[in-house]
Amino acid sequence: MRPSARTTALLLTAVLVVYFVLLSGRAIALIETGTAVGIGLGVGVLLLPFIGCWVAYTSIQFGLRTEQLAKRLAAEGTLPDTSDLPRMPSGRVDRAAADAWFEERRSEVEAAPEDWRAWFRLAHGYDIAGDRRRAREAMRKALELS
């Protein structure tokens, strides 16, 4: 059985927390050396868990907000459906089909640039076309407009 994205995210977050606890222990040991270099390195290493926690928190928030939009679209019956697109043996959508589907979504956004639903579908289009960075940007726009 394949784990869900949520389960995977929670598992990775738990592993990250354990890593941050261990990293914090090393930072405290460096600070306790009492030397200028040890204290400086210890403070620097101690900042890493805080930065990591912030990144994890914002990523989880992004995922939860995206999931809420997906539920709204599902309730409306307008959730993007790519199940009929041809697939490669790996399971990914065929590149030409993904590009064509993406172009349709881009036209929707050009026709209605203030519609969060169109931006959500465009984000999905970027995702199946393999452009994750732009998919996240488009999803941020959808979240902003919703």
> What is the domain partition of the chain in residue ranges?
5-68, 95-145
Q: What is the pLDDT of residues 75-116, one digit of tens each?
A: 999 888 888 888 888 888 888 888 888 889 999 999 999 999
Split the chain (146 residues) into runs of 10 and give each run's mean pLDDT: 72 87 90 93 89 86 91 90 84 85 91 94 89 92 93
pLDDT at residue number 131: 86
**d(C-alpha 125, C-alpha 114), whole Å:** 17
pLDDT at residue number 2: 55
pLDDT at residue number 1: 45
pLDDT at residue number 123: 93
78-86 contacts at long range (C-beta below 8 A, 24 or more positions apart):
78/117, 80/105, 80/120, 80/121, 80/124, 80/125, 82/124, 82/128, 85/128
Q: What is the pTM of this model?
A: 0.74
